[in-house]
Homo-oligomer: A and B are copies of this chain.
Amino acid sequence: MRKIKIIAIGKIKERNISLLIEEFQKRLRPFCKLEILELKDEGIQKESQKLSGYIDNTTYILDEAGKMLSSEEFASLLKNIEGSLTFIIGGPDGLDPKIKTKSHLISLSKMTFTHEMCRLFLIEQLYRACMINSNRGYYHK
């Protein structure tokens, strides 16, 4: 089964966002092994050191300057990568620019969202991608 890791900096403080993320985690269970690793929000430099250990050629950083994909293109990306995939979401202070040069950058929107909302959007799109890749409808949900 596909493994997906989301590495996120900082906790989710908004309870309703947490609950929505948990709901999508539940829905994703039949499709992939999803792990959410929450790192402490302790400043860009320390975060950068910790994150660098996780970066390889299947790591995608969420960044406003990243490539924008449609949901179908995002689903293809998931389909075409064998094994595991890692997504990194920066914290309230953003991410070290050095880290960004070592990884693929993707963007969910031209708009800026809080890191909490980013995590929600990403997990919703992961679920949508799994629905697209297994030819199931989701648009009416």
Q: Tell me the A residues contacting B by CB distance below 8 Å.
A: 14, 16-17, 19-20, 23, 68-71, 74, 92, 108-114, 117, 121, 124-125, 128, 138-141
A25 to chain B, nearest CB (A): 13
A114 with B92: CB separation less than 8 A:
no
12 A-B residue pairs with Cβ-Cβ distance under 8 Å, sorted by A, are: A14-B20, A14-B23, A16-B16, A69-B110, A70-B112, A92-B140, A108-B109, A109-B111, A113-B121, A114-B138, A117-B124, A121-B121
For the complex formed by this chain, how many copies does it contain in all? 2
Candidates B71, B92, B108; contact of A139 at CB < 8 Å:
B92
- A110 — which chain B residues lie within 8 A by C-beta? 68-70, 109
How far is it, in angstroms, between the C-alpha of A89 and the C-alpha of B62 when the chains are bound? 26
- A140 — which chain B residues lie within 8 A by C-beta? 92
Q: Which B residue's beta carbon lies closest to that of A114?
A: B141
Candidates B20, B23, B108, B111; contact of A71 at CB < 8 Å:
B111
A58 to chain B, nearest CB (A): 20
Instruction: Decide yes or no: A139 and B114 within 8 Å by CB, A16-B23, A19-B16, A20-B14 being known contacts.
Output: yes
A113 to chain B, nearest CB (A): 7
A127 to chain B, nearest CB (A): 10
A99 to chain B, nearest CB (A): 19
